[in-house]
């Protein structure tokens, strides 16, 4: 029996979405590039009904590709929109609230973690993943070495999966080396000047190369 850790998989993090049709086309291009496990859907501002309708419009096409759709929104929007889960950035207190309103099989992930202690509290609260390195509320990014250190520490010690957020293509190799279960490709992936299929393929190739060196299947 193999004792090697599972191969890192990709999550795609969208820019704030207003037009589900446009982002759906780009996602289908991305899925053709490599092994994508999940999409973290970020939504442009709107009322709860309009947000829910955007999730409803996008969920079937994503899920038809065997890709999970996680929404950075309220638990109600995620549930009513048919998403597979919710991504929480409002703090530890919001985890229990989300768990009480979502069925047990839905994913609850957490980001916006400011310290190791916050991450451990989230793990103890029973989340399905923790994310390190995503943009702060003001749009700034934590330093890449700090993200590498945090993801490496978590992946080595804890069973709860972690996601390392890649702010650009150049950061992908270093984050793959952390052994994080998932690598999140940020909204840079959706830029007009980016060949999204090729970029996903390059990230997938970096994962494959690392897995080969480690003997991961």
Report all structural domains of the chain as residue ranges with CATH numbers, in order of start.
9-214 (3.20.20.70)
Residue matched to tokens 């999204």: 196
Q: Which tokens belong to 53?
A: 């309708």
Whole-number pLDDT of residue 216: 53
Q: What is the DSSP secondary-structure string of 43-80?
A: B-S--HHHHHHHHHHHHHHHHTTT-EEEEES-HHHHHH
Whole-number pLDDT of residue 32: 97
Whole-prediction pTM value?
0.94
Q: Show pLDDT as tens, one digit a residue, over the chain (217 residues).
A: 345 567 899 999 999 999 999 999 999 999 999 999 999 999 999 999 999 999 999 999 999 999 999 999 999 999 999 999 999 998 778 888 888 878 677 899 999 998 999 999 999 998 999 999 999 888 899 999 999 999 999 999 999 999 999 999 999 999 999 999 999 999 999 999 999 999 999 999 999 999 888 775 5
Whole-number pLDDT of residue 2: 43
Within the chain, residue ranges assigned H as helices are 20-31, 48-63, 75-80, 93-101, 116-124, 144-157, 172-176, 196-214
């Amino acid at each position: 029996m193999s004792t090697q850790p599972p191969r890192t998989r990709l999550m795609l993090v969208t820019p704030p979405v207003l037009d589900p049709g446009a982002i759906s086309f780009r996602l289908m291009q991305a899925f053709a590039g490599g092994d994508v496990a999940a999409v973290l859907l970020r939504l442009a501002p709107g009322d709860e009904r309009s947000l829910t309708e955007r999730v409803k419009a996008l969920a079937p096409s994503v899920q038809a590709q065997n890709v999970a759709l996680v929404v950075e929104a309220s638990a109600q929007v995620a549930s009513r929109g048919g998403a597979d889960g919710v991504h929480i950035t409002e703090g530890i207190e919001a985890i229990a609230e989300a768990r009480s309103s979502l069925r047990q099989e839905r994913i609850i992930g957490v980001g916006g973690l400011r310290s190791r202690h916050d991450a451990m509290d989230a793990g103890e609260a029973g989340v399905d993943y923790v994310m390190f390195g995503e943009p702060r509320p003001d749009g700034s990014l934590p330093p890449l070495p700090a993200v590498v250190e945090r993801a490496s520490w978590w992946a080595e010690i804890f069973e709860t999966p972690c996601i390392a957020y890649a702010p650009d293509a150049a950061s992908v190799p270093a984050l793959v080396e952390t052994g994080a279960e998932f690598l999140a490709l940020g909204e840079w992936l959706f830029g007009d000047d980016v060949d999204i299929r090729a970029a996903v393929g390059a990230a997938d190739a970096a994962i494959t190369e690392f897995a080969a060196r480690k003997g991961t299947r």
